[in-house]
């Protein structure tokens, strides 16, 4: 098993209460040429979906679909990492291993604060994981595992499965607490474009509520409520499908009623299997999402695949209706280094404002007054972004979305890592996620105006440090 190599140097970090946070290999390495520097990767081998995202006692737990044997998809285990800030992750030993019911496919995590499951055995609240046992001799079923030691060890529930096979490879249970009805609710992918909802009072026996059609979408459901425009009295429920696209509606604990959607969540090519954290403390109150940046390639690397950078979700009203917006979590500031910035600069054709940028990792935040420009072009580590205000088209790395200027302006934010680029336009109104292979030589950056000039209201390029050091 890769985490117990005899040459590994054991180390321990402590949390605020002096308890051991992590025991693991020394976090050295993580510096190969194609290794993302602030996006999560497994130290070795394959990962896909983020699973069991849960916050408990000051730690964020990220479990992951993981094949510990090879840098390819294969027999699924739940890998595990923890973080106190969503930025610096420490890989822990594997949390779930395959058993006679099957390998461990995707699912979710919750904290059973009121011990409704009766699985609590010590001073800590139990953390419960819901996963799909699949690719075994029996057809796919939903199972439970629990931890009474802050997620350091997990025990499989003795009467698994908690939800027997229904149809096809039914999978990916996402469990949430529904306060008004004081019930647990499970969203489950059945087959095709069909999902099902179940409810439970003890997390062990589940009653079918209803089935739900999600045109064009399958796998990895999520379900949560958010205020609209920060108004706590105006709230909507969001039902998310495997590619992050979502339905908006109402949910009374029994039935999800779609009011609009599906709406697209990402216009890039590498965003899949999203999930939001449960049990984020109320005083924080954020809805934080992670996703698998499906499809990147990392030739010659000991790892394969990366997660996105965690984002904070919100619902905001636009002329077309209410939409889900997404921006990087503020904790990214802990990686901030040297900054270069410009204010009120006019860029005319033939000049490149970013000629002097040479770094490889950036958080870029810009606002443009578009003036009479025909096309605004940005190149970030050789990845092309183009905006044409007249038609209202934003194109990133060959993918285009409609985005009309707001009051003649455009805001762009971009996270640039060694092998990924995330672009957030207009405070997360449109997001593009990409993986790329960097060209040889010095990273190239460009900001130029074509067919007119553009006013750079502000442009900040903040260099980022590696989160692995
Ligand atoms: C999504 C998915 C899930 C499944 C898991 C298996 O990427 O196909 O539906 O549970 O990956 O690794």
DSSP string, 230-260: TEEEEEEEEEE-TTS-EEEEEE-SS-EEEEE
Q: How far is the CA of 60 from the centre of ligand 1 (A)?
A: 22
Is 72 one of the annotated active-site residues of the chain? no
Residue with token string 């990767």:
41
Three-state DSSP at 55 gives strand
Give yes or no for a cis peptide into 84 (omega within 30° of 0): no
Mutate to test the pocket of ligand 1, among 48, 140, 241 (most ligand atoms within 8 A of CB): 48
Ligand 1 pocket, residue 217 CB under 6 Å: no
**Which residue CA neighbors atom 9 of ligand 1 most closely?**
219
Atom of ligand 1 nearest to the CA of 134: 10
The pLDDT value given to residue 27? 53
The pLDDT value given to residue 9? 27
Share of the chain above pLDDT 70, in %: 94
Cβ contact 61:109 at 8 Å: yes
Q: How far is the CA of 105 from the centre of ligand 1 (A)?
A: 6
The contacts of residue 251 (CB under 8 Å, 6+ apart) are 178, 223, 225, 237, 239, 257
Ligand 1 pocket, residue 172 CB under 6 Å: yes
Average pLDDT over residues 168-191: 98
Share of the chain above pLDDT 90, in %: 92
Ligand 1 pocket, residue 219 CB under 6 Å: yes
Both structure tokens of 324: 């889900």
Strands (E), 57-115: 59-67, 77-83, 90-96, 103-111
Confidence of residue 28 (pLDDT cuts 50, 70, 90): low
Query: Does the pLDDT value for residue 3 go beyond 50?
Result: no
Which residues, listed in sequence order, are joined to residue 282 by a DSSP beta bridge? none
The pLDDT tens digits for 415-448 are 999 999 999 999 999 999 999 999 988 899 999 9
Average pLDDT over residues 364-379: 97
Cα separation, 296 vs 198, in Å, equals: 35
The pLDDT value given to residue 422? 98
Would you give the DSSP letter of residue 310?
P
**Which residue CA neighbors atom 12 of ligand 1 most closely?**
105
Query: Is the sign of the CA dihedral 202, 208, 209, 215 positive or negative?
Result: positive
The pLDDT tens digits for 398-412 are 999 999 999 999 999
Query: Does the pLDDT value for residue 138 go beyond 60?
Result: yes
Query: Does the pLDDT value for residue 136 go beyond 60?
Result: yes
Average pLDDT over residues 40-59: 98
Cβ contact 249:239 at 8 Å: yes
Three-state DSSP at 231 gives strand
Query: Is the sign of the CA dihedral 127, 133, 134, 140 positive or negative?
Result: negative
């Amino acid at each position: 098993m890769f985490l117990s190599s005899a040459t590994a140097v054991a180390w321990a970090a402590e949390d605020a209460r002096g308890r051991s946070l992590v025991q693991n290999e020394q976090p050295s390495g993580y510096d190969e040429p194609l290794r993302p520097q602030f996006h999560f990767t497994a130290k070795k081998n394959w990962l896909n979906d983020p699973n069991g995202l849960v916050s408990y006692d000051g730690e964020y737990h990220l479990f992951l679909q993981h094949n510990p044997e090879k840098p390819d998809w294969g027999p699924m285990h739940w890998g595990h990492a923890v973080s106190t800030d969503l930025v610096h992750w420490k890989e822990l030993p594997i949390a779930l291993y395959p058993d006679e019911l099957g390998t461990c496919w995707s699912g979710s995590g919750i904290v059973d604060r009121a011990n409704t499951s009766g699985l609590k055995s010590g001073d800590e609240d139990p953390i419960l994981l819901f996963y799909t046992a699949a690719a075994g001799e029996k057809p796919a079923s939903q199972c439970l595992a629990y931890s009474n030691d802050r997620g350091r060890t997990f025990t499989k529930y003795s009467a698994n499965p908690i939800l027997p096979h229904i149809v096809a490879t039914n999978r990916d249970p996402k469990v949430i607490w529904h306060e008004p009805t004081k019930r647990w609710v499970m969203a489950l992918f059945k087959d095709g474009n069909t999902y099902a909802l179940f409810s439970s009072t003890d997390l062990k026996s589940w009653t079918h509520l209803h089935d739900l059609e999600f045109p064009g979408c399958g796998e990895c459901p999520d379900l949560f409520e958010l205020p609209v425009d920060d108004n706590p009295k105006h709230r909507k429920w969001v039902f998310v499908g495997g590619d992050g696209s979502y339905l908006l509606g109402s949910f009374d604990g029994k039935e999800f009623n779609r009011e609009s959607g599906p709406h697209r969540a990402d216009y890039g090519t590498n965003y899949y299997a999203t999930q939001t954290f449960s049990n984020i403390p109320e005083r924080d109150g954020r809805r934080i999402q992670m996703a698998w940046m499906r499809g990147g390639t990392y030739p010659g690397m000991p790892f394969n695949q990366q997660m996105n950078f965690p984002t904070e979700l919100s619902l905001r009203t636009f002329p077309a209706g209410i939409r889900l917006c997404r921006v990087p979590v503020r904790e990214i500031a802990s990686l901030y280094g040297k900054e270069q910035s410009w204010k009120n600069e006019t860029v005319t054709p033939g000049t490149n404002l970013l000629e002097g940028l040479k770094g490889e990792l950036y958080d870029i935040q810009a606002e443009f007054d578009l003036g009479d420009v025909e096309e605004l072009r940005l190149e970030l580590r050789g990845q092309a972004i183009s905006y044409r205000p007249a038609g209202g088209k934003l194109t990133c790395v060959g993918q285009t979305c409609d985005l009309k200027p707001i009051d003649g302006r455009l805001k762009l934010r971009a996270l640039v890592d060694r092998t990924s680029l995330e672009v957030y336009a207009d405070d997360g109104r449109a997001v593009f996620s990409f993986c790329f292979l960097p060209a040889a030589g010095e990273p190239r950056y460009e900001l130029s105006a074509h067919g007119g000039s553009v006013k750079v209201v502000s442009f900040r390029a903040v260099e980022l440090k590696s989160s692995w050091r």
